[in-house]
């Protein structure tokens, strides 16, 4: 892989060189690689096929999880959240100590490894919300709860420039990775002023299916707003809104 320099940037293929644009700029690479049929059938590429199958499984699992929390993450995620989550899902799959290589999966892996995942690398929850909180998952009742004691927003919430107000949001999801489906419950405070005045106790409970046998995930986030002439506007289109997985209950 090489970077393109100069005034004119190329796209497409010339000879054996392919020119393309990515988030990292205009790049170029030489065509090559092994024939697809050989990868599918040659015994020498068995490991490649196994790795490919598990990578595909990780990508699909990551997409399902992102879709489950899309109502919150659409304004609280960075441009590489998909690749970062796929990478972490690979770690989950590699923790499967039951299945054969090539057949390892999320359900037999360690979904608890997803705890702490940040949807927005540009606005991490741990760098924004300094107020202590506790989270819990009651599988029998089907509730995923977050409780935040009273706190001073100005002291315990690091907000980007221009912030005048904020909102605390959370969501609980029951995810069926095999059926590619989910059940989700969401909660949110009203829009609160970013001042020294202490908040009231924030207690949010998100409901899914009671006695579920599927993995359960709880996320917590903050949305920042700016008040202009009495109207509330999401600050910078949510580019600094944090959202993170704060609790996980596996199978």
The answer to whether residue 105 is domain-embedded is no
Quickly tell me which residue has 């997803």 as its tokens.
Answer: 114
Task: Give the pTM.
Answer: 0.83
Whether residue 26 is found in the same domain as residue 118: no
**What's residue 112's pLDDT?**
96
Q: Which two tokens stand for residue 59?
A: 């990508």
Q: What is the mean pLDDT of each run of 10 residues along the chain (251 residues)?
A: 62 64 67 56 60 86 96 93 96 92 90 96 95 97 98 96 96 96 97 97 98 97 95 86 97 74
* Res 251: pLDDT: 74
Whether 53 is covered by a domain: the verdict is no
pLDDT for position 162: 93
Burial of 93 (0-12, 13-18, 19+ CB in 10 A): buried
Same domain, 125 and 244: yes
Overall size of the chain counted in residues: 251
Whether residues 122 and 244 share a domain: the answer is yes
Does any domain span residue 63? no
Please state, as a whole number, how many other Cβ atoms lie within 10 Å of the Cβ of residue 100: 8
Domain span at 174:
114-249
In a domain, 64, yes or no: no
Nearest of 30, 35, 9 to residue 18 by alpha carbon:
30
Same domain, 149 and 245: yes
Is 200 within the bounds of a domain? yes
- Residue 28: what pLDDT? 65
Residues 125 and 245 in one domain: yes
Do residues 17 and 122 share a domain?
no
The phi, psi pair for 144, rounded to 5°, reads -125, 110
Residue 85 lies in a domain: no
- Please give the tally of structural domains in the chain: 2
CATH number, residue 239: 2.60.40
Do 124 and 217 sit in the same domain of this protein?
yes
């Amino acid at each position: 892989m090489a970077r393109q320099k100069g005034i004119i940037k190329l796209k497409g293929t010339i000879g054996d060189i392919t020119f393309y644009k990515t988030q990292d700029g205009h790049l170029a690479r030489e065509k090559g690689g092994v024939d697809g049929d050989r990868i599918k059938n040659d015994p020498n590429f068995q490991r490649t096929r196994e790795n490919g199958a598990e990578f595909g499984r990780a990508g699909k699992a990551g997409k399902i999880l992102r879709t489950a929390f899309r109502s919150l993450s659409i304004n609280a995620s960075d441009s590489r959240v998909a690749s970062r989550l796929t990478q972490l899902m690979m770690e989950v799959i590699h923790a499967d100590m039951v299945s054969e290589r090539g057949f390892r999966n999320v359900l037999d892996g360690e979904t608890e490894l997803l705890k702490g995942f940040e949807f927005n690398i540009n606005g991490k929850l741990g760098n924004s919300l300094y107020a202590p909180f506790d989270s819990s998952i009651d599988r029998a009742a089907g509730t995923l709860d977050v409780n935040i004691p009273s706190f001073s927003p100005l002291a315990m919430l690091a907000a980007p420039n221009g912030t005048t107000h904020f909102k605390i949001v959370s969501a609980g999801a029951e995810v069926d990775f095999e059926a590619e489906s989910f059940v989700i419950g969401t909660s949110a405070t009203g829009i609160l002023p970013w001042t020294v005045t202490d908040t009231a106790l924030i207690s949010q409970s998100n409901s899914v299916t009671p006695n579920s046998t599927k993995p359960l995930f709880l996320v917590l986030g903050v949305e920042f707003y700016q008040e202009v002439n009495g109207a509330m506007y999401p600050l910078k289109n949510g580019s600094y809104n944090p959202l993170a997985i704060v609790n996980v209950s596996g199978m």
